[in-house]
């Protein structure tokens, strides 16, 4: 480091200390107030009319109406954070280019006016959701709902909840993140305290290193008070006493934090409250915190899987897609030792790339010593858990190319984990354990998407703009506290070094190329009420989108008692027949509609919406294709999931019809297969510009090898006005229809004839 830079930093530090002597101690932040009025009855009626017109157009295309009662499609976001979450608070600091506090009231106004959502939930991290913040969350839910207008035709419905943010350092101890959401909103319908995932007697886990961010006050003294506020929150969380163990949740003190280190304990505590609850896993394939060899397998056990609560899974969020299974692995274990696989045409393991980086550093080392260090680098990268890039702390993100990434997935999660994908979960079965109906235990989950927004902005995916505000893409505005500089220089740059796994270091540089505005959950609801939305969620009559408001219907036409919608379970001994109907999202006009410009002041409109709102034209994006995925769950543990997951099983190219696309198909193999089957569909829109649509913007040589990347950094290295746009095909994922095989001999009547 040059003397000029050292002197510059010392000068700032001295100045900062001067400000520090004058600074006040930190404090809690205000909750904010909801400002905007509800949407009018006329606006809601027009929303319904647009859906009706779309359904009528698809009916003409399909030569007949649906055989199921029409329900209204409502769009929401079941994964929203405010700066009550410790990580959200940290990322909103000025040194990260953030905007400061994002309140509960901000979320209400943003959902109603910027994104024009129909429902959402609050899901701040339970580990830091101190009693006064949980109380404020419940009050904010009621305050937003109080403005919803007619109780039978509510413009916006808000649900209370939290995020159970569990992270294990090994595959055996990792369970992942889950959102806990409650149907009720009144004080006697909600728990007295959130339930977190801290180990008993442990620290705040994933967020324990956050206190380091307060050091930024020394280079950002003009905002000293904001860093003091972070210290206040961390002090409050760390002083928060742990609840006694083994005591019924209803009997615990109000001011203690309640631990549930594993899912079974979480479910037990929720049962003690007795409220209607949904527990939704999310970010399952996201490798920033998931150990490389983690999988869904251990969660498929009666002890850990509560099929009454865990009825949905989040397929995509602003952190990417967790849908797709792939056969490659980050590394494998043989005879108890890790083995680094060689690269293939579709995957470059980071452990392998660590060896190549070492090879380039060998210089004049003897050939045998160089090779020994190459193998050492690969071993250390495999032992580094989620941070293989830090075996060379002085390396650049570009040195690692696109290692550990899914090259051919749609908007994938960072450092993708195939055995934590949703498709892999759907392929599992445990015949030695049975569910409540006496069937082999399986995951029968409906599919949703949401944002995982950390700035009180539910439903950010309506437009691809303002990357730094509408995605989780924070970054230091100088290199003073960069993750690599914090680790220091290696003792020997020509040798890989071990990574301290306990320090929970994560690759925060490349990950911002895998952040997106996020998805939406859509429900087929019988009305615009909380009860109707909750009923649709419970019945899995839901689907997810990657952000746009795509319309999607997926039905089994020939159930035993008639047609059945997505999310249904059925036994059949005949050829199942299906119908899909999809209409693209509306092309967006620039700016905000007059209604919103009237509802919010110009200052609040700009602060929340950044000048752009949901503003649909009368034109819809074309649906390019309908893809069908068939998964036949395992009959035995030795079956390869790659042979059971057929993606796509069928693909229907759609004509460029602005009305949308319809498709019918059947599975003639089903009756004779003797196997259960899971079917779901994707409606794929034509390509449009998308934030991080090209991921790391990797270039390849003529042989298909990655040769360079241009990451979309969240920090000072990329202009904050650069949205890193590239074409992507936005989509919607239906919930599956679960068709269990019933032998013809057990049927009460003859099997239906196959259709020619």
Nearest 10 degrees: Cα torsion 215, 291, 423, 661: 20
What span, in angstroms and rounded, lies between the C-alpha atoms of 261 and 246?
13
Residue 222 lies in a domain: no
Q: Is the pLDDT of residue 334 over 80?
A: yes
Between 212 and 542, name the one with better pLDDT: 542
Secondary structure element (H or E) that encloses residue 46, with its range: helix 41-61
- Apex 120 CA angle, 115 and 121, nearest 5: 140
What span, in angstroms and rounded, lies between the C-alpha atoms of 207 and 202?
12
pLDDT in tens, 680-718: 999 999 999 999 999 999 999 999 999 999 999 999 899
CA distances from 722 to 1, 49, 468, 476, 511 (A): 29, 37, 9, 16, 16
Residue 150 lies in a domain: yes
Give residue 456's domain range: 41-190+275-326+413-473+515-686+729-746
Are 607 and 676 in a shared domain? yes
Rg over CA atoms, the chain: 26
> Strand pairing partners for 282?
177
DSSP per-residue codes, 425-492: HHH--EEEEE-TTSSEE----EEEE---BSSS-TTGGGS---HHHHSS----SSSTT-HHHHH---S-
Are 491 and 605 in a shared domain? no
Secondary structure element (H or E) that encloses residue 361, with its range: helix 350-361
Are 426 and 503 in a shared domain? no
Residue 155 lies in a domain: yes
Are 602 and 664 in a shared domain? yes
Give the mean pLDDT of the chain. 92
Residue 626 lies in a domain: yes
| pLDDT at residue 696, as a whole number | 98
Residue 490 lies in a domain: yes
| pLDDT at residue 503, as a whole number | 81
Q: Specify the CATH number for the domain of residue 73.
A: 3.20.20.140
Are 579 and 493 in a shared domain? no
Report the percent of the chain where pLDDT is more than 90: 81
Are 564 and 704 in a shared domain? no
Are 307 and 448 in a shared domain? yes
DSSP per-residue codes, 744-755: GGGSSSPPPPPP
Q: Is the pLDDT of residue 15 over 60?
A: no
Q: Is the pLDDT of residue 657 over 80?
A: yes
Dihedral pair phi/psi, residue 565, rounded to 5°: -85, 175
User: Average pLDDT of 162-167?
Assistant: 96
Q: Return the SS3 of 70.
A: coil
Describe the crossing of helices 3-22 and 224-239 by its angle, rounded to 10 degrees.
70
pTM: 0.94
pLDDT band at 480 (very low <50, low <70, confident <90, very high): low
Are 553 and 631 in a shared domain? yes
Q: Return the SS3 of 662.
A: strand
Q: Is the pLDDT of residue 484 over 80?
A: no
Dihedral pair phi/psi, residue 351, rounded to 5°: -65, -40
Tokens describing residue 275: 């409220």
Are 438 and 469 in a shared domain? yes
What span, in angstroms and rounded, lies between the C-alpha atoms of 642 and 660?
32
Residue 242 lies in a domain: no
Q: Say how many domains are in the chain.
A: 2
pLDDT band at 504 (very low <50, low <70, confident <90, very high): confident
Q: Is the pLDDT of residue 544 over 90?
A: yes
What span, in angstroms and rounded, lies between the C-alpha atoms of 622 and 653?
11
Are 577 and 706 in a shared domain? no
What span, in angstroms and rounded, lies between the C-alpha atoms of 621 and 728?
13
Least confident of 263-267, 489-493, 721-725: 489-493
Residue 601 lies in a domain: yes
Are 447 and 462 in a shared domain? yes
Q: What share of the chain is helix, strand, coil (3-state, %, to 5)?
A: 30, 20, 45
| pLDDT at residue 23, as a whole number | 46
Is residue 403 exposed (0-12), middle (13-18) or buried (19+ Cβ within 10 Å)? buried
Least confident of 6-10, 389-393, 492-496, 622-626: 6-10
Alpha helices by DSSP H, 104-253: 104-109, 131-146, 224-239
Torsion region of 634: left, alpha or beta (phi above 0 gives left; psi -120 to 50 gives alpha): beta
> Strand pairing partners for 706?
700
| pLDDT at residue 483, as a whole number | 54
Are 458 and 607 in a shared domain? yes
Residue 209 lies in a domain: no
């Amino acid at each position: 480091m040059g003397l000029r830079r050292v002197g510059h930093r010392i000068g700032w530090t001295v100045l900062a200390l001067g400000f520090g002597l004058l600074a006040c101690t930190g404090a809690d932040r205000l909750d904010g107030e909801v400002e905007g009025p509800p949407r009018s009855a006329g606006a809601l009626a027009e929303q319904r009319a647009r859906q009706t017109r779309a359904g009528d157009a698809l009916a003409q295309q399909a030569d007949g109406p649906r055989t199921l009662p029409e329900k209204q499609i409502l769009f929401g976001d079941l994964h929203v954070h405010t700066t009550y979450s410790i990580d959200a608070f940290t990322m909103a600091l000025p040194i990260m280019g953030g905007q400061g506090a994002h309140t509960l009231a901000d979320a209400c106004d943003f959902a109603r006016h910027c994104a024009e959502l129909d429902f959402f939930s609050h899901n701040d991290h339970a580990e830091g959701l101190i009693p006064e913040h949980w109380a404020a969350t419940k009050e904010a839910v009621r305050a937003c709902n109080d403005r919803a207008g007619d109780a039978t035709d509510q413009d916006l419905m808000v649900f209370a909840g939290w995020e159970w943010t569990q992270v294990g350092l090994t595959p055996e101890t990792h369970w992942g993140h889950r959102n806990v959401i409650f149907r009720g909103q009144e004080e006697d319908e909600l728990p007295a305290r959130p339930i977190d995932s801290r180990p008993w007697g442990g620290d705040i886990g994933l967020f324990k290193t956050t206190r380091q961010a307060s050091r930024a006050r020394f280079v950002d003294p003009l905002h000293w008070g904001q860093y003091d506020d972070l210290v206040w929150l961390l002090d409050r969380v760390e002083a928060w006493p742990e609840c006694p163990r083994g005591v019924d949740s209803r009997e615990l003190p109000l001011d203690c934090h309640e631990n549930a280190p594993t899912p079974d304990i979480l479910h037990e505590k929720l049962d003690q409250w007795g409220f209607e609850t949904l527990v939704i896993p999310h970010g399952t394939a996201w490798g920033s915190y998931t150990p490389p060899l983690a999988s869904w397998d251990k969660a498929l056990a009666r002890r850990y899987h509560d099929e009454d609560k865990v009825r949905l899974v989040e397929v995509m969020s602003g952190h990417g897609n967790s849908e797709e299974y792939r056969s490659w692995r980050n590394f494998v274990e043989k005879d108890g030792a890790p083995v680094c696989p060689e690269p293939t045409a579709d995957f470059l393991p980071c452990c392998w790339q660590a060896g190549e980086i070492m090879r380039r550093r060998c210089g004049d080392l003897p050939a045998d010593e160089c090779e020994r260090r190459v193998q050492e680098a690969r071993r250390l990268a495999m032992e580094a858990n989620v941070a293989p890039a830090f075996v060379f702390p002085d390396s650049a993100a570009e040195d690692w190319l696109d290692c550990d990434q899914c090259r051919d997935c749609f908007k994938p999660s960072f450092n993708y984990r195939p055995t934590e994908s949703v498709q892999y979960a759907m392929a599992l079965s445990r015949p030695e354990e049975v569910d409540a109906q006496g069937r082999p235990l399986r995951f029968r989950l409906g599919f949703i998407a949401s944002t995982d927004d950390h700035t009180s902005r539910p439903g950010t995916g309506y437009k691809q703009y303002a990357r730094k505000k509408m995605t989780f893409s924070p970054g230091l505005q100088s290199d003073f506290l960069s993750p690599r500089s914090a680790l220091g220089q290696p003792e020997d740059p020509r040798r890989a070094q071990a990574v301290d796994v306990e320090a929970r270091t994560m690759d925060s540089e490349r990950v911002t190329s895998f952040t997106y505005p996020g998805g939406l959950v859509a429900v087929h609801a019988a009305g615009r009420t909380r009860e109707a939305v909750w009923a649709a969620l419970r019945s899995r009559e839901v689907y997810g989108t990657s952000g746009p408001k795509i319309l999607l219907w997926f039905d089994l036409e020939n159930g035993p008692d008639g047609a059945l919608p997505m999310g249904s379970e059925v036994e059949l001994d005949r050829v199942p027949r299906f119908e899909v109907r999809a209409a693209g999202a509306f092309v967006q006009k620039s700016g905000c509609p007059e209604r919103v410009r009237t509802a919010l002041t110009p200052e609040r409109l700009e602060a929340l919406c950044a000048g752009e709102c949901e503003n649909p034209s009368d034109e819809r994006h074309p649906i390019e294709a309908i893809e069908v995925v068939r998964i036949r769950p395992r009959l035995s543990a030795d079956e390869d999931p790659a042979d059971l997951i057929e993606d796509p099983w069928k693909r229907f190219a759609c004509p460029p019809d602005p009305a949308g696309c319809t498709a019918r198909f059947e599975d003639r193999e089903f009756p004779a297969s003797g196997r259960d089957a899971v079917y779901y569909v994707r409606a794929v829109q034509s390509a449009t510009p998308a934030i991080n649509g090209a991921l790391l913007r990797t270039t390849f040589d003529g042989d298909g090898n990655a040769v360079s990347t241009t990451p979309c950094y969240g920090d000072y290295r990329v202009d904050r006005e650069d949205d890193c746009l590239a074409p992507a095909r936005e989509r919607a994922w239906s919930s599956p229809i679960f068709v269990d095989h019933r032998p013809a001999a057990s049927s009460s009547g003859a099997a239906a004839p196959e259709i020619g």
